């Protein structure tokens, strides 16, 4: 598995990355124990997995979610 991963990275260095954009839902960190659900646009390479950019597209209209740490 590790050998295949290294070959993919080498392939990307020689021939260039295969970049795709994908919208995913997740949580955005605001302050300690405060997260807001949002839609995030991620640009990454499908071969080597390198992430090029992450950008918040929009926030959900919900109340702030508090996560307590036990």
- Please say if the pLDDT value at position 51 is more than 60: yes
- Domain limits for position 40: 2-66
Query: pTM here?
Result: 0.67
Look at the chain and report how many structural domains it folds into.
1
Predicted local distance difference test score (pLDDT) of residue 24: 92
Where b means 16+ CB within 10 Å and e means fewer, 12-47 reads: beeeebeeeeeeeeeeeeeeeeeeeebebeeebbeb
Give the residue-averaged pLDDT of 32-51: 90
């Amino acid at each position: 598995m590790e050998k295949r991963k290294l070959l993919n990275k080498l392939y990307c260095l020689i021939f260039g990355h295969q970049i795709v954009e994908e919208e995913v839902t997740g949580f955005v960190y605001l302050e300690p124990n405060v997260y807001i659900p949002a839609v995030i646009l991620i640009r990454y390479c499908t071969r080597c997995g390198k992430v090029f950019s992450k950008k918040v597209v929009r926030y959900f209209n919900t109340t702030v979610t508090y996560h307590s740490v036990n």
